[in-house]
C-alpha cells in the first residue's frame, strides 16, 4: 500500500472507502445509547470545553444519584449509558461506586460505559489507589467498559496548550492499559481541528497503535471534531484564523482528511471507525461513511458536552432516523451492543416502536 500520509485527498478517500468495504461490506452499525452527565463541577479548565464549571460558579452542580437514576429511567430501551462528568475534587469515590451500583440494580440490561481516564485518575488520587487496583474494583461494581476520552491529542506539548491540567500522555496510557488488562475494553478518541499539526496526529495514532498491539482492548476509534463556538479556545482560534467561518472550514478540511487516514493507518488493528452526527451533523456523518467509517455512533438521548460548546446538531436521534440516514447513504444499518456484538434484547429498539413494550415489560 502506498504511504497514506502522502496520498492526494481523492485517492486517499477512495482507498479508505475500499478498505472499509473490504472489512465491513455495506453494513454500518450504531448503538442505542444515552449519556448521563452527573456533574458539571470541574477544576481542570480545558480551553476547548464549554461544559465544566469551576466550583462555586453559576451552574456548578452535581446531580444526586436518585436524579441520575430517574433520568436514565426515562429511556429504558437504551442498551448503553455513558457516564461522564467534570472533575470535582470534592466528589468522593463512594459517589462513583454507588452511582454504578444503583444503575446496575435498576437497569441490569444496560451496559455502563463509564468514567474517562481523567475521572479515573482523579478517583485514584482521592482513594489513594493505583489504576491497577481501581479498575478491577470499578469492573466488579458493574462498569462494563470505559470511554477513551480525555485523549485530546496524545502529545504532551499540545496538551499543555489546550488543557494544561489534564493528565499527561504516560498517565492516560497507563490507565487505559490497566482498564484493558482488567477486562474493561475502551473506545479510543482524538480531538482534532484546533492547534494540532499533522505530525501530532501521526504521533497520536502511533500511541494508539502501540497500545492496541499490546492489549487489543480498543473497540473503535471515535474522531471528535473540535466544536469552537462557546469556549476560550474557539474564540481565540477564530480570531487568529480570521473569523468563525474560516475556522469552521479549517475543521471541515481536517475532518475530510483525518477520517480516511485513521481508516488506513489504524484499520488493521482497530477495525471500527465511528463517525459523529453530533459533531458533523446528520448529513456530514452520512457523507463520512464514504471516508472509511463503518459505525454511525449512537442515539445519544442526552448529550450536554458538545451542546455546551455551542454544538449545532442537537441531541437524541431515534434509531429509525439513524437507520434512514444510513440507508439514504446506500448502506445497511445494523444495531449493535457497545462491544460490537449482536443486540439480543428485543426491547432495545427505538422510542416510537418500543416505549410501550418496554414500559409493560419493565414495570417502570
Ligand atoms: S473537558 Fe472535562 S476535564 Fe476538561 S474542563 Fe471540561 S469537564 Fe473538565
Candidates 42, 116, 306: which one to mutate for ligand 1, based on the most atoms within 8 Å of Cβ? 42
Candidates 38, 40, 43, 51: which one to mutate for ligand 1, based on the most atoms within 8 Å of Cβ? 51
- How much is the pLDDT for 361? 34
The CA 143 to ligand 1 mean position distance, Å, reads 21
- How much is the pLDDT for 311? 74
Of 173, 294, 272, 275, the C-alpha closest to 224 is 275
The CA 146 to ligand 1 mean position distance, Å, reads 16
For residue 86, which atom of ligand 1 is closest to its CA?
7
Q: Residue 363 pLDDT more than 50?
A: no
Grid coordinates representing 310 are 455551542
For residue 166, which atom of ligand 1 is closest to its CA?
3
Of 24, 7, 1, the C-alpha closest to 260 is 7
User: What is the distance between the alpha carbons of residues 209 and 39, in angstroms, rounded to a whole number?
Assistant: 32
The CA 88 to ligand 1 mean position distance, Å, reads 10
The CA 190 to ligand 1 mean position distance, Å, reads 15
Q: List beta partners, residue 83.
A: 36, 114
The CA 50 to ligand 1 mean position distance, Å, reads 8
The per-residue pLDDT for range 86-118, each reduced to its tens digit, is 999 999 999 999 999 999 999 999 999 999 999
By the 8 A CB rule, do 22 and 8 touch?
no
| 289: three-class secondary structure by DSSP | coil
Q: What is the DSSP string of 93-123?
A: HHHHHHHHHHHHHH-TTSEEEE--HHHHHHH
For residue 116, which atom of ligand 1 is closest to its CA?
2
The CA 94 to ligand 1 mean position distance, Å, reads 21
Candidates 35, 52, 230, 305: which one to mutate for ligand 1, based on the most atoms within 8 Å of Cβ? 52
The fraction of the chain above a pLDDT of 90, given in percent, is 89
Q: Residue 184 pLDDT more than 70?
A: yes
User: What is the distance between the alpha carbons of residues 4 and 127, in angstroms, rounded to a whole number?
Assistant: 45
With cell 434509531, the residue in question is: 319
Exposed/middle/buried for 230, CB within 10 Å: 0-12, 13-18, 19+? middle
Candidates 49, 60, 147: which one to mutate for ligand 1, based on the most atoms within 8 Å of Cβ? 49
Candidates 87, 91, 123, 230: which one to mutate for ligand 1, based on the most atoms within 8 Å of Cβ? 87
Q: Residue 244 pLDDT more than 90?
A: yes
Of 217, 243, 219, 244, the C-alpha closest to 310 is 244
User: What is the distance between the alpha carbons of residues 187 and 171, in angstroms, rounded to a whole number?
Assistant: 17
For residue 52, which atom of ligand 1 is closest to its CA?
7
Q: How confident is the model at residue 306 (pLDDT cuts 50, 70, 90)?
A: confident
- How much is the pLDDT for 346? 46
Name the CATH architecture for the domain at 15-353: Alpha-Beta Barrel (3.20)
Q: Residue 347 pLDDT more than 70?
A: no
The per-residue pLDDT for range 123-176, each reduced to its tens digit, is 999 999 999 999 999 999 999 999 999 999 999 999 999 999 999 999 999 999
Q: What is the pLDDT of the chain when averaged over all its residues?
A: 93
The residues lining ligand 1, judged by C-beta closer than 6 Å to any ligand atom, are 42, 44-46, 49, 51-52, 86-87, 118, 163
Average pLDDT over residues 240-266: 97
User: What is the distance between the alpha carbons of residues 121 and 99, in angstroms, rounded to a whole number?
Assistant: 18
The CA 153 to ligand 1 mean position distance, Å, reads 14
Average pLDDT over residues 274-290: 95
Average pLDDT over residues 57-80: 96
- Ligand 1, atom 1: closest residue by C-alpha: 49
With cell 483525518, the residue in question is: 258
By the 8 A CB rule, do 313 and 303 touch?
no
Alpha carbon of residue 127 to chain centroid: 26
Amino acid at each position: 500500500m502506498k504511504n497514506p500520509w502522502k496520498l492526494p485527498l481523492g485517492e486517499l478517500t477512495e482507498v479508505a472507502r475500499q478498505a472499509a468495504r473490504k472489512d465491513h461490506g455495506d453494513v454500518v452499525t450504531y448503538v442505542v445509547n444515552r449519556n448521563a452527565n452527573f456533574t458539571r463541577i470541574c477544576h481542570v479548565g480545558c480551553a476547548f470545553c464549554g461544559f465544566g464549571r469551576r466550583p462555586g460558579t453559576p451552574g456548578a452542580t452535581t446531580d444526586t444519584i436518585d436524579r441520575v437514576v430517574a433520568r436514565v429511567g426515562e429511556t429504558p430501551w437504551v442498551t448503553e449509558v455513558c457516564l461522564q462528568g467534570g472533575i470535582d475534587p470534592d466528589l468522593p469515590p463512594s459517589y462513583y461506586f454507588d452511582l454504578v451500583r444503583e444503575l446496575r440494580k435498576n437497569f441490569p440490561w444496560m451496559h455502563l460505559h463509564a468514567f474517562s481516564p481523567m475521572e479515573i485518575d482523579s478517583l485514584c488520587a482521592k482513594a489513594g489507589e493505583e489504576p491497577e487496583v481501581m479498575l478491577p474494583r470499578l469492573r466488579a461494581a458493574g462498569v462494563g467498559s470505559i470511554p477513551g476520552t480525555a485523549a485530546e491529542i496524545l502529545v504532551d506539548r499540545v496538551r499543555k496548550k489546550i488543557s494544561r491540567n489534564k493528565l499527561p500522555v504516560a498517565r492516560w496510557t497507563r490507565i487505559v492499559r490497566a482498564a484493558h488488562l482488567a477486562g474493561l475494553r475502551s473506545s479510543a478518541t482524538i480531538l482534532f481541528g484546533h492547534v494540532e499539526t499533522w505530525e501530532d496526529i501521526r504521533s497520536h495514532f502511533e500511541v494508539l497503535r502501540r497500545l492496541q498491539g499490546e492489549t487489543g482492548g480498543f473497540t473503535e476509534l471515535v474522531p471528535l471534531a473540535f466544536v469552537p463556538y462557546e469556549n476560550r479556545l474557539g474564540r481565540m482560534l477564530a480570531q487568529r484564523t480570521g473569523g468563525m467561518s474560516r475556522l469552521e472550514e479549517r475543521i471541515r478540511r481536517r475532518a475530510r482528511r483525518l477520517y480516511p487516514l485513521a481508516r488506513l493507518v489504524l484499520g488493521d488493528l482497530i477495525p471500527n471507525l465511528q463517525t459523529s452526527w453530533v459533531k458533523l451533523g446528520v448529513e456530514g456523518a452520512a457523507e463520512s461513511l464514504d471516508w472509511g467509517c463503518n459505525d454511525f455512533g449512537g442515539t445519544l438521548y442526552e448529550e450536554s458536552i458538545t451542546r455546551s460548546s455551542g454544538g449545532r446538531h442537537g441531541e437524541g436521534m431515534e434509531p429509525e432516523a439513524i437507520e434512514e440516514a444510513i440507508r439514504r447513504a446506500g448502506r445497511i444499518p445494523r444495531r449493535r451492543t457497545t462491544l460490537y456484538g449482536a443486540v439480543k434484547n428485543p426491547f432495545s429498539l427505538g422510542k416510537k416502536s418500543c416505549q410501550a413494550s418496554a414500559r409493560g415489560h419493565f414495570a417502570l
